[in-house]
Amino acid sequence: MAILPGEMNTSTMHLNEHITLAIKPRANLLAFIALGALLLRLLNLGGPALWYDESGSAWMASLPFARMLAATAGDTHPPFYFVLLWVWVRAFGVDEFSLRLPSVIFSVLSIVMVAAIGERLKFYRGATLLAAALMAVLPSQLHYAQETRMYALFQFEFLLGVWAVLGRRWWLMCIALAAMLWTHNYGLLYFPVLAAIGSWQARLQCEEENLPVLTSWPLKRWSMSCIVAATAWLPWLSVLVTQMRTMADGYWIQSVTPGAALYPFYFLAWGFSSTETTQIHAALIVFGVISFALVKAARERHRRALILAAAALAPWVLAIIISLAWRPMLLFRGLVPSTGLLCLLVAWALTYDTSRFARWAVTFAAVPLLAVSVMSYYVNIGNQKGGALPVIATIKWQPGDVIYHVNDGSLMAFRWYTPREWPQYIMPRDWRNLGALSDETRSAMGFNVEPLSDIPSWHRAWLIYSASPTTATAEDAAMQRLLAHYLHTTVMDTVTDVIHQAVYLLWNETRSP
């Protein structure tokens, strides 16, 4: 029977109402999760002091543009994040809150992208929202959302790329690929992941539209997107080669062991938040849940879940292979972009044909620990980032005094929390401290590198020593030579399992022979 025009309009209206009613609760819940995530990330955002890496980001962003690029080239990362931060600080200032706010924004956008990827994969509503909720509260996500570094941006770029590829938006995939390469050197490990998913999507489109695979426009657009993104990054290739040579001289990435290989998965969930009493429990939960999800995806032969697993794990596998075949490069922070896909995979496994008992068991095991870890993060974050402030508090500076740093670590933090009239110098070196800045970066950042004996007209020198497991033995010896040469008194000397911080007051009078 034919449907009259009026009936057609009525039917269409009813259908639209049903669609709206189905989508609206999901959108509302996602908005609630995103708002909660934003509030968690804004909580005490400007409270903790900048730590070493953050101070480096802030210092580089405050330089003139050309010097900022030179400083970045001498370091270990591409410049895209620093370019964005360079623009940001000129609009919003260089206080702790403003410096960290871009990471907050990118972190919240990543939560939205995870939900959008779940929608594109046609996962259950519960799985999509659970994945977004996990991203909202995981301590590792909170950590990088509140840090003035590129990891939140890197994660967003990768997730945006996955979403674009699944939707066959090749121009957006191209932008995401190029942005990843210019944001973090681990973009080279995530590039083939997006390219492989894009190839799969192009082939699917060819099958759906009955097009020849090798000569069809979907495959041409995919290949052109990859070529354009790689070509746009090529100017940085020569710089990367130099950076890798510098890292080979003494960068702090350690050799791959079974523990080091598994640690990234623990870190991607818990960050630095778990305590000694909860670490074993936390490790068992994260390894158990991920293993359960991987086994279930393989057993069910669920294509979309398997794609998630492959995309999340491929960069980790590539990093291990390169580390074993060439040189160590497994960096847990570099794998932060995989977190969103792992959350989706776990959420799928817990909601897809899983018994109620299993869901409640995971809930009772994980939720209390997650709540404790989140609270532990906020309690301890100030101690983790504010290590320089107690050192600065011991210094009673007077006109004619100089601040003399043994290494980069203390100078970077002092840059933001000491008066500008304090003359600050750093000791020359003929050694490579693991993870230290290169000479090129020191020069671009404007470090005053001088032997203490060559600094004119100083009466007292506050010698600042900040050591960690990466400190070179030659550095300790150089400091001891200074202490043996000048009259001095110990102002502060604190030793823990991880660091050694000390302040010595030296007088410009050498010891008698």
226-270 confidence digits (pLDDT tens):
999 999 999 999 999 988 876 655 556 768 999 999 999 999 999
Q: Kindly state the tokens that stand for 311.
A: 């995309």
Rg for the chain (alpha carbons), in Å?
A: 26
Closest CA to 466 of 437, 496, 431, 422: 496
Any idea what DSSP says for residue 236? Answer: G
Q: Rounded to an integer, what distance in angstroms lies between the CA atom of residue 343 and that of residue 87? A: 32
Residue position matching structure tokens 């896909």: 341
Enumerate residues 6+ apart whose C-beta is below 8 A from 285. 269, 362, 365, 366, 369
Closest CA to 118 of 176, 159, 146, 71: 159
Contact, 503 vs 492, CB < 8 A?
yes
Any idea what DSSP says for residue 210? Answer: T
User: Which residues sit opposite 466 in a β-bridge?
Assistant: 501
| Position with higher pLDDT, 15 vs 469 | 469
**424-426, strands of its sheet edge to edge:** 424-426, 401-405, 460-467, 500-510, 486-495
Closest CA to 490 of 390, 403, 378, 394: 394
The predicted pLDDT at position 3 comes to: 38
Checking if the pLDDT of 332 tops 50, the result is yes
Range in 23-27, 175-179, 498-502 with the lowest mean pLDDT:
23-27
Q: Rounded to an integer, what distance in angstroms lies between the CA atom of residue 434 and that of residue 469? A: 9
Average pLDDT, stretch 98-107? 98
SS3 461: strand
Sign, CA torsion 341/342/345/348: negative
Backbone phi, then psi, for 155, in 5-degree steps?
A: -65, -45
pLDDT band at 384 (very low <50, low <70, confident <90, very high): low
Q: Kindly state the tokens that stand for 314.
A: 């491929």
Q: What is the dihedral of CA 252, 253, 259, 264, to 10 degrees?
A: 110
The predicted pLDDT at position 353 comes to: 87
Sign, CA torsion 312/314/319/323: positive
pLDDT band at 179 (very low <50, low <70, confident <90, very high): very high
User: Which residues sit opposite 482 in a β-bridge?
Assistant: none
Contact, 108 vs 34, CB < 8 A?
yes
The predicted pLDDT at position 26 comes to: 59
Q: Rounded to an integer, what distance in angstroms lies between the CA atom of residue 407 and that of residue 411? A: 7
Checking if the pLDDT of 510 tops 70, the result is no
- Which helix (H) or strand (E) segment is 435 a member of? none
> Taking every pair of C-alpha atoms in the chain, what is the biggest distance, in angstroms?
114
The predicted pLDDT at position 25 comes to: 56
Range in 103-112, 298-307, 380-389 with the lowest mean pLDDT:
380-389
Q: Which of 10-14, 193-197, 353-357 is most confident?
A: 193-197
The predicted pLDDT at position 434 comes to: 67
Backbone phi, then psi, for 224, in 5-degree steps?
A: -65, -35
Q: If you average pLDDT over every residue of the chain, what do you get? A: 89
The predicted pLDDT at position 383 comes to: 64
45-85 confidence digits (pLDDT tens):
998 989 889 999 999 999 999 999 999 998 889 999 999 99
Backbone phi, then psi, for 489, in 5-degree steps?
A: -135, 150
Q: Rounded to an integer, what distance in angstroms lies between the CA atom of residue 457 and that of residue 169? A: 64
Q: Rounded to an integer, what distance in angstroms lies between the CA atom of residue 465 and that of residue 480? A: 11
Average pLDDT, stretch 97-101? 97
Q: Rounded to an integer, what distance in angstroms lies between the CA atom of residue 443 and that of residue 432? A: 16
The predicted pLDDT at position 212 comes to: 84
Range in 48-57, 148-157, 492-501 with the lowest mean pLDDT:
492-501
Average pLDDT, stretch 99-119? 97
Q: Rounded to an integer, what distance in angstroms lies between the CA atom of residue 160 and that of residue 114? A: 9
